[in-house]
Amino acid sequence: MKKALILGVSGQDGAYLARLLLQKGYEVYGSSRDAQMSSFSNLHALGIYDDVCVESIALNDFRNVIQTLMKIEPTEVYNLAGQTSVNLSFKQPVEAFESIGVGTLNLLEAIRLMQTPIKFYNACSSECFGNTGDSAADESWPFKPRSPYAVAKCASYWEVANYREAYGLFACSGIFFNHESPLRPERFVTKKIVSAATRIARGSDEKLHLGNISIRRDWGWAPEYIEAIYLMLQQETPNDYVIATGESNSLEDFVAAAFDYVGLDWHNYVEIDQKLIRPLDIAAGRGNPSKARVELGWQAKHKMRDVVRMMMEHEEKQKE
């Protein structure tokens, strides 16, 4: 039986990955900074909490990291932990770099020292690319980070590449473009939009406050993207992959789709709030997933409007 350790199992991607690996017969361990205090609400939402062995790991503590790896002896390690908010990284840049850059480095160094055949996955981000404009970024696209979060993700990407080349580790990074699901917390703008549109349709007199709605993003369906993570660690040789739909839409398009679903004109319910505009923002992001399609056999089946519909359907059921 394969044994997997998922760092950040309580998040959206971690929970879906845990479910997928359990379905494939893995023994699954999941971590958070304090497993005794964490609610693991996403694991409960998917009905798999009792099937996952939870552990407390502080990724900025190297001794704790290597002790935990030696205790569990995983065959695969999935690093989905660390700060996940671009907005928060501007307010807490040191925490962003420590939790992402230092945390990834500690995991790689622990795996190197253990000298056991552990396969390692690192969650990278399309934020590393910065603005892609009218083009679609592939694995050769240069990095130009525009937030402390993106800077930390760039560092983690190069750490993985360095350990793979210098020490022969099976280590790879998935450069994921935006991917959403009902498990997103409301601090993510997509969930904020879906929740507000549902409440307004049910009679709430609130306004939805948003920042720059002209930005364009490549939005996909999170459960599909998790399949790409699994496939990366099943290859004969490790490699890095861009995971995206290849389609870009504006945040205004996303808002319009959510309100169209409930038969409302979004113009009547949305207000632009200058306080919500980031110090630096990416005007447009779109990915080219050709390499993943050819080498992994992976391709996104759902695009932005599918994502909105599925999130709205789930939100309505939750409100019934």
List the catalytic residues: 125, 127, 149
Distance CA 123, CA 175 (A): 7
Bridge partner residues of 179 (DSSP):
220
- Please identify which residue in the block is written with the tokens 């919500």: 276
For residue 78, the cross-strand partners are 6, 121
